[in-house]
Amino acid sequence: MKSKIAASLLAFALAACNSEPAQPAASVAASEAAPAAAAPPQKDPLLSAVGIGVSDLEKSAAFYMDVMGMEKIRTYELDYMNEILLRYPDGESYLVLMHWIDGSKRNYKDNPIKLVTRVKDPMALAAKIKAAGFEVTREPQPSDQVGGATVGFAKDPDGYVLELLPLRQLAPPADPAATPAPAPSSN
């Protein structure tokens, strides 16, 4: 069974690396193999995708798309599992929602998983999560424990922890007027 899961995640990673950003969501049956597209240049190393087991595939997909702002890239219907591949628009990493349909018992609730997301406005995202009926366990606010950075926490439909962070701020360009001029040479 572990080899099936590993093969499934590997297939997602390969598909994610070869997918075109503008492709609409598609469903691929296990017996259909999509032709490989020419892979764009990639960063090295790159974490391509993370998969999480979910108890209700459609409910979780709706949460990650409607509340978190992700888009569905494609779905897979395998003989033992159904999966949905999501990402943020223009994102480079993917989230794989996995639901086993082979009758095996799975623990989908409150697993020790944390998904970290960066957004323009963590407070607005926390409000959106609450409005959709999901739990915000810590309102986004500065934390002395991490140097004053704004950090918030929430939970998805299966209780996975979502860490809500602001986008990274780019360092402002150096002010050339503030840089001292080199001393004149005495030649």
User: Do 83 and 12 touch, CB atoms closer than 8 A?
Assistant: yes
The residue annotated as part of the active site, out of 77, 92, 139, 163, is 163
How many CA atoms lie within 13 Å of 87's alpha carbon, on the beta-carbon side?
Answer: 23
Q: 179: Cβ–Cβ under 8 A, 6 or more apart, which residues? A: none
- Is 163 a known active-site residue? yes
What is the strand order of the sheet 94-100 is part of?
26-29, 71-77, 81-87, 94-100, 49-53
Q: State the Cα–Cα distance between residues 77 and 100, nearest whole angstrom.
A: 10
What is the DSSP secondary structure assignment for residue 4, as one 8-state letter? H
Q: What amino acid occupies position 138?
A: R
Output the furthest CA–CA distance in the chain (Å, rounded).
Answer: 86
**Of 179, 7, 161, the residue nearest 79 (C-alpha):** 7
Q: 19: Cβ–Cβ under 8 A, 6 or more apart, which residues? A: 37, 73, 74
The catalytic site residues sit at 163
